[in-house]
Amino acid sequence: MAEIRRCRHCGAYWEVGAFSHPKVITRAQATRELPDIDRLEQGLGIAFPDPQTIESE
C-alpha cells in the first residue's frame, strides 16, 4: 500500500511506498488510490496550487 502526498509548493502528487523511491503521479492516479481525496484536502484547509497553472508560468 502506497502513501499519497501532495506538495504544498507546486501542488504535485507523490506516491511513496515502503520499498520504493517517491514518484510523481497524476491527479487521476491519486484519486484511484484515494477516492475521497477531495474531502481530505478540503479538511486540511490548505490552498494547494494547481500544478497545470504552475507549469504554464
What does the pLDDT look like over 40-52, one tens digit per residue? 888 988 888 876 6
Asked if 49 and 12 touch (Cβ cutoff 8 Å), the reply is: no
Q: CA 48, CA 14: separation in Å to the nearest integer?
A: 14
Per-residue cell: 30: 491519486
Q: What is the pLDDT of residue 56?
A: 52
Q: Domain total for the chain?
A: 1
Q: Which amino acid is at 13?
A: Y
Query: pLDDT digits over 3-29, tens only?
Result: 999 988 888 999 998 888 899 999 999
Domain carrying residue 26: 3-56
| Cβ atoms 13, 4 nearer than 8 A | yes
What CA–CA distance (Å, rounded) separates 42 from 20?
28
State which amino acid sits at residue 42.
Q
